[in-house]
Structure 1
């Protein structure tokens, strides 16, 4: 028996390929650890989830600040740490829910290789394949281990995902099979020679080479912002402590507040903590994780598996959906409705008999041949001398038979490929295809179907007409995309006329002018221009599909590609977001970021809507949290320069953060949102957050200086006035961000105002949060300044919106 890693040569004395391994031989290999132990690509473990939510940059910053308050007191000023505890617990719970959903769906979607054991073909889990297993390899299947071919019938393998070589490779007994490659035509069996981490795809970073990871502008943008904030904390904190200690800004904390440690240093540290706590966007990262996790759970309920979480974000940016026709817009199954004999039928070999023989000669028929087999079950006793399996590249399949009249070569496939363009057969097929029907040509070739020049000149014998039923939910799905300004482009391997007929029945814009992909320009730039301007394309080869998707992306389009067949794999990988059908080939499912396990094209609008909800809402709450960061930095900078006491305590910061941003953002992050996301998340967020934060911070300091009126020591009424100004101003920012308004948003803002008033007007609230509203003049000053600040923020927002609309109008 060859050892793992040894080449398996054709003709070597190995286990009988017809029998495969026995149960005892499998058990021996499992005991020896010679199994395919590549880790399953799935969600994070429970330990990883806990660590990822607990040990974060945000939590580390907050922990340091809480440690300072824990030493100097009072306990109320450490309330901000509870927010982090709650945030961490919520994040862990939500991600565990998402993990359960992902793991359950991943099991459904998992590739299950078919192996030969004890003379029978059985399905096993990928991890249960052992060294020397004989594995069936059929069209659309993906190799899960390395091996050597032991038998082949027209087996053609695409290794482009591993090697970059686009042309399929014909495999014969003794040839090598690499894990990660997939069969595009024919069938065969190969014996596993490398399993687990020794296999080729596993050596390429645990199979990561097969996946193009989705770029997350959201996460990368937030990470850039967090890095800036982290570095800004040090100079801001140092400036505050220095100004409070050495420039006369420190005041002694009132004993009534329960401070356990008093004095200049303790008061300076409290002021620093109050400023820095507000600078930290403690809920932003949490809300991104929650939005992703909730999105996964919601999509899971619709039998949609998200294999890469950032794909949810990518869906929000999609403005073009490229889709196949068969199995997506039409039902999977087909039926033969008519067989039309042509002049080439010599009567010696009845068409029905030939069709039955061809169907029987194909061990793994595609849907078209399955329909032919169903309609023609009577198989003639003709020995098969050669077989050519169907491939999307050549558009035909065939077989050579030994008949009483001698060897005959029969082919079946696309009429416009097998027949001359202006022949009667091609013209008749074109007319039938214009009715939305699928047409195959049965022809007699002059060369063996496995020869280099096959099929040679073809004599048309008959046209086989197949009926394809349009999915009942396809029209509504296309209307949804039209309403959402998302273009749908049909790219199919079928005849362009037939594809156009189906598209017209679905009322797809541009369906009246379908294009034959073979007639499109070869130049990449001109091809991209033609694809961008069209809607329906037929006779699209797998390589052409990839080029079309690439061209759209190079023109700045965000492309989602849907497909289910092996001919869609290259385009699925090239697209920004690949969406595969659950019943599709293992190869297509493995490279897609999203798998529709229920095989319903109508699920896609829900997927797109979920992506828009996530990205749109996160952008909203990012505006809120970054406004808080900017106003905190503004206040800290001005206070440091003026060398006055910081206007409020850490507990005040906790109250302001909770009622203006923290609690509302949680609800806003999960709200419905159908607006398509656009690039430029960071710049667009900062355009509102920076001016709103600067104005809010300046307003708070203005109120502080006005009520302080030159006094050296601020009273609680002074600090409370600053809290009122900041709360009123930032609640106004919340109102601007929460548009469009619905009843629950108004109720949310009203509830936050109620919480704030409860804290300010009840004895318990005032004592706990150290508030005093007993001076009407100072309260009136705070509200007046807040009104001016709100007006300025509104003007900035209106001007920015007008500039954006003008820029978008110029780009159109």
Structure 2
């Protein structure tokens, strides 16, 4: 299809639209709603819970159903909500604005929506317009394109007829017609949008460890369940008992860990919101605490995007400052330079009458005004003005270079009496006399230097990655306190493999970097085993933000960058990063501590169930009795997570968990099984032969069965009494574990040093009081299927707790597990 100055005809446009060559926005993200629901809600584990819950409801066991499957279902719903929210956010992401554009069709200009532009269309591009398609400039002469959001290049790029304009850029000067060659998903903006929408969700190290532990436990539970349920079927257990056993076994999976970590992330995100950071991916709160390399753009991140006057070098500095102030306040077309000068209170000078003005363009590299008295003032690049100066020494190269090496932007202010245009009205420089060298600096964001110093003290490397000149970027980095070798993008381009990775590792400043190179730099750092955070504000940073473990965007940046970022700095302030790292470490410390309680409970229950079943003493738990873990594990882990202190993440968490959980699980299960077996035999023998009338009366109330009438009265009574004693022992020992993890006194310091935080101690005492109330109040006692705290249940359980605590303290304090396994014990106390 050939486009002429007449543009396309209406029929040609219809044909192109039918053929799918219209500028249709990219739609959809990497994950579908069905896939999200399938992986979060209808997983194998959740499906098992659903089946058990439906069976319990059908049998009228509503409380059992709520206790055994409620938490898993809530957690699945929470996970699905978060995933669907993230999908909706990505689906809304669009790089292009939706303002109407002008096209030439049938020989006349028409206003259409950007989505109606087709391949071959002639699109009118004017100053201030966003370019919506890719294609060459075909008429109109010179156009200046602002590609800063796409490439990071801060200066406008001059475009001649035949040069390509990229969608997503904007026209900062000139006017012309562009022929649409690439539209929709094939355009530059479309490809960037697709890359930005790609699903890059990844588990953090803590989530990965929890996921691994849960998967291993699911496997063990499945193996154990198969054997136990097969035995129950062979023994002729009732359908109710079979379903209740299944519910207890499924409850062994510590699915509450996922719920706990979700709550911890949410609370952490809420705390950071109060510090000026919006967390858009919940696990980013943890991920940022593990970062050891921060890659950051320069403009808009390290700097505010504003300029500040630093020096005026002139023989008559006072006169030069007044003239500079007059120039800045008189121009009609302002830019970043003149705006900074006009706002500078140290520059005197009032607006003057202007009879002619040449606005700044990158192709000119200067701007000027002619005043009513015929005086012309010009401000421009030294290299451009030097040829027009009557005294070239006024733009001395050595003086200019000395300042540019410091990262300063150097301009020359000059004056003359000639016109600023030739006979054809085109801008030209008259003979000028240099008035002053003007040095301006990019304004560093408040707190940047302190943040970089703090990150370096923590061993976090900072790399500045920018589209600007590497010398300028390096000089600015030095001003911020970062002195590192610099390398330019063209030098990186021919490198690959190990050579590229080595260059990335050894340099700290990267200039003239293309957007795809930013992504490659992040990939190289990740290949080197680093945890990377990418900080940016432009569209050119979006792909790198997606590739990094943590993407951080400035609120003042592009909407695309904000949408793909994991964290958005609402105040555009780097000072939010240290609190974010601290909050992440607090979460890791809290969830790690909670894992000790969760896994100790699981290990204990698994071993008790196996041992009691092998002994042929019935099943040791009912679903409601397992619900007691809400007091002994659920509530404590929540508060321990919220109260945790920030600590550096431990890489040997799984090893430390094994060193604690295995001794605790084995000893607690051992004592628990002994208590269960003793009480089971004691009640059985007490109700056989000639039982005590009072005992018969009590167990008839507890079980709802009648002595001498129901054949399974003795077995049910023995099981209930043994379960009550086991529940008292396990629940009390679980609360004591809180004191071992946060010791209030050296008598509890077998695992960790004494803690100054007394809140866990008060929590353990309060929960113990609540548990006592459960035993004393008939309604709650009956709900959890327990007997009253009468002999022999209470004395046996109390003696068991005492012996258990002494044994466990000795085993943990003297590292008995390591000695048994032939491993060297650690020289210091603590995991």
TM-score, normalised by the number of residues in structure 1: 0.67
Q: Is this contact kept in 2: 1:579–1:596, CA < 8 A?
A: yes
Quick one: which of 415, 434, 439 aligns to 2:409? 439
Instruction: Give the direction of change, closer, same or farther, for the CA distance of 1:471–1:72 in structure 2 (3 Å limit).
Output: closer
Matched, 1:313 2:250: no
Matched, 1:113 2:97: yes
1:466 shift after superposition: 0.9
Q: What SS does structure 2 have at the residue aligned with 1:279? A: coil
List runs of 5+ in structure 1 lacking aligned partners.
1-5, 120-125, 162-167, 251-262, 343-350, 390-396, 416-422, 445-459, 532-536, 808-812
- The equivalent of 2:702 in structure 1 is none
- The equivalent of 1:131 in structure 2 is 117
- The equivalent of 2:226 in structure 1 is 238
| C-alpha distance after superposition, 1:631-654 (max 9, x if no partner) | 333233333433331223222111
Alignment partners' CA distance in 2, 1:798 and 1:329? 53
Quick one: which of 600, 605, 609 aligns to 2:578? 605
Alignment partners' CA distance in 1, 2:308 and 2:192? 43
Instruction: Give the direction of change, closer, same or farther, for the CA distance of 1:694–1:800 in structure 2 (3 Å limit).
Output: same
Matched, 1:465 2:439: yes
Instruction: Give the direction of change, closer, same or farther, for the CA distance of 1:587–1:398 in structure 2 (3 Å limit).
Output: farther
Question: Does 1 or 2 have the higher relative contact order (CA < 8 Å, sep 6+)?
Answer: 1
1:198 shift after superposition: 7.2
Q: Is this contact kept in 1: 2:404–2:472, CA < 8 A?
A: yes
RMSD of aligned C-alpha atoms? 6.0
Quick one: which of 800, 804, 810 aligns to 1:786? 804
Alignment partners' CA distance in 2, 1:135 and 1:799? 78
Greater shift, 790-799 or 615-624, is seen at: 790-799
- The equivalent of 1:581 in structure 2 is 554
- The equivalent of 2:511 in structure 1 is 540
- The equivalent of 2:495 in structure 1 is none
Q: Is this contact kept in 2: 1:138–1:364, CA < 8 A?
A: no
Q: For residues 141-290 of structure 1, what are the structure 2 equivalents within 5 Å?
A: 149=137, 153=143, 155=145, 206-208=194-196, 213-244=201-232, 246=234, 264-266=237-239, 269=242, 272-273=245-246, 275-290=248-263
Instruction: Give the direction of change, closer, same or farther, for the CA distance of 1:297–1:72 in structure 2 (3 Å limit).
Output: same
- The equivalent of 1:659 in structure 2 is 631
- The equivalent of 2:734 in structure 1 is 730
Q: What SS does structure 2 have at the residue aligned with 1:561? A: strand
Alignment partners' CA distance in 1, 2:805 and 2:453? 45
Alignment partners' CA distance in 1, 2:218 and 2:163? 56
| C-alpha distance after superposition, 1:72-129 (max 9, x if no partner) | 5655544514743883599489959x969997x999x97563746579xxxxxx9975
Q: For residues 291-302 of structure 1, what are the structure 2 equivalents within 5 Å?
A: 291-300=264-273
Alignment partners' CA distance in 2, 1:742 and 1:784? 25
- Pair member with larger Rg: 2
1:174 shift after superposition: 6.1
Q: For residues 89-108 of structure 1, what are the structure 2 equivalents within 5 Å?
A: 91=78
Alignment partners' CA distance in 2, 1:491 and 1:206? 23
Matched, 1:530 2:506: yes
| C-alpha distance after superposition, 1:676-708 (max 9, x if no partner) | 435576666556445544443344223323444
Instruction: Give the direction of change, closer, same or farther, for the CA distance of 1:90–1:274 in structure 2 (3 Å limit).
Output: closer
| C-alpha distance after superposition, 1:502-558 (max 9, x if no partner) | 23xxxx5xx5x5544469997445535534xxxxx5673325866765554444332
- The equivalent of 2:765 in structure 1 is 750
Greater shift, 279-288 or 47-56, is seen at: 47-56
1:323 shift after superposition: 3.8
Quick one: which of 39, 49, 52 aligns to 1:65? 52
Alignment partners' CA distance in 2, 1:560 and 1:225? 27
1:734 shift after superposition: 3.9
1:142 shift after superposition: 9.2
| C-alpha distance after superposition, 1:298-357 (max 9, x if no partner) | 545555444544433321211233445554444432133445479xxxxxxxx989x99x
Alignment partners' CA distance in 2, 1:239 and 1:388? 78
Instruction: Give the direction of change, closer, same or farther, for the CA distance of 1:472–1:234 in structure 2 (3 Å limit).
Output: closer
Q: Is this contact kept in 2: 1:240–1:268, CA < 8 A?
A: no
TM-score, normalised by the number of residues in structure 2: 0.66
1:606 shift after superposition: 3.5
1:573 shift after superposition: 5.3
Quick one: which of 523, 526, 533 aligns to 1:560? 533
Q: Is this contact kept in 2: 1:236–1:636, CA < 8 A?
A: no
Alignment partners' CA distance in 2, 1:138 and 1:723? 77
- The equivalent of 1:718 in structure 2 is 722
| C-alpha distance after superposition, 1:269-291 (max 9, x if no partner) | 26623641431223223233333
Alignment partners' CA distance in 1, 2:260 and 2:130? 38
Instruction: Give the direction of change, closer, same or farther, for the CA distance of 1:692–1:300 in structure 2 (3 Å limit).
Output: same
Quick one: which of 603, 611, 616 aligns to 1:630? 603
Instruction: Give the direction of change, closer, same or farther, for the CA distance of 1:277–1:106 in structure 2 (3 Å limit).
Output: closer
Instruction: Give the direction of change, closer, same or farther, for the CA distance of 1:399–1:56 in structure 2 (3 Å limit).
Output: same
1:579 shift after superposition: 1.7
Q: For residues 381-530 of structure 1, what are the structure 2 equivalents within 5 Å?
A: 388=362, 398=365, 411=381, 427-429=398-400, 432=403, 438-440=408-410, 463-474=437-448, 477-478=451-452, 481=455, 486-488=460-462, 493=470, 495=472, 498-499=475-476, 502-503=479-480, 508=481, 513-517=483-487, 523-524=499-500, 526-530=502-506
Quick one: which of 10, 13, 38 aligns to 2:6? 13
1:495 shift after superposition: 3.5
Q: Is this contact kept in 1: 2:149–2:540, CA < 8 A?
A: no
Q: Is this contact kept in 2: 1:131–1:194, CA < 8 A?
A: no
Alignment partners' CA distance in 1, 2:126 and 2:758? 58
- The equivalent of 2:705 in structure 1 is none
- The equivalent of 1:705 in structure 2 is 677
Instruction: Give the direction of change, closer, same or farther, for the CA distance of 1:95–1:383 in structure 2 (3 Å limit).
Output: closer
Instruction: Give the direction of change, closer, same or farther, for the CA distance of 1:696–1:102 in structure 2 (3 Å limit).
Output: farther
1:199 shift after superposition: 5.9
Alignment partners' CA distance in 1, 2:816 and 2:174? 64
Alignment partners' CA distance in 1, 2:113 and 2:254? 43
- The equivalent of 1:392 in structure 2 is none
1:465 shift after superposition: 0.6
Q: What SS does structure 1 have at the residue aligned with 2:805? A: helix
Q: What SS does structure 1 have at the residue aligned with 2:251? A: helix
Q: Is this contact kept in 2: 1:35–1:196, CA < 8 A?
A: yes
Alignment partners' CA distance in 2, 1:380 and 1:793? 92
Quick one: which of 560, 582, 590 aligns to 1:617? 590
Aligned length in residues: 701
1:223 shift after superposition: 4.1
- The equivalent of 2:693 in structure 1 is none
1:758 shift after superposition: 1.4
Alignment partners' CA distance in 2, 1:387 and 1:753? 76
Instruction: Give the direction of change, closer, same or farther, for the CA distance of 1:175–1:85 in structure 2 (3 Å limit).
Output: same
Quick one: which of 618, 624, 630 aligns to 1:645? 618
Q: Is this contact kept in 1: 2:281–2:567, CA < 8 A?
A: yes
Q: Is this contact kept in 2: 1:495–1:538, CA < 8 A?
A: no
- The equivalent of 2:71 in structure 1 is 84
List runs of 5+ in structure 2 lacking aligned partners.
104-111, 316-322, 371-377, 386-393, 415-433, 493-498, 686-714, 744-754
Greater shift, 483-492 or 620-629, is seen at: 483-492
Instruction: Give the direction of change, closer, same or farther, for the CA distance of 1:777–1:212 in structure 2 (3 Å limit).
Output: closer
Alignment partners' CA distance in 1, 2:268 and 2:37? 20
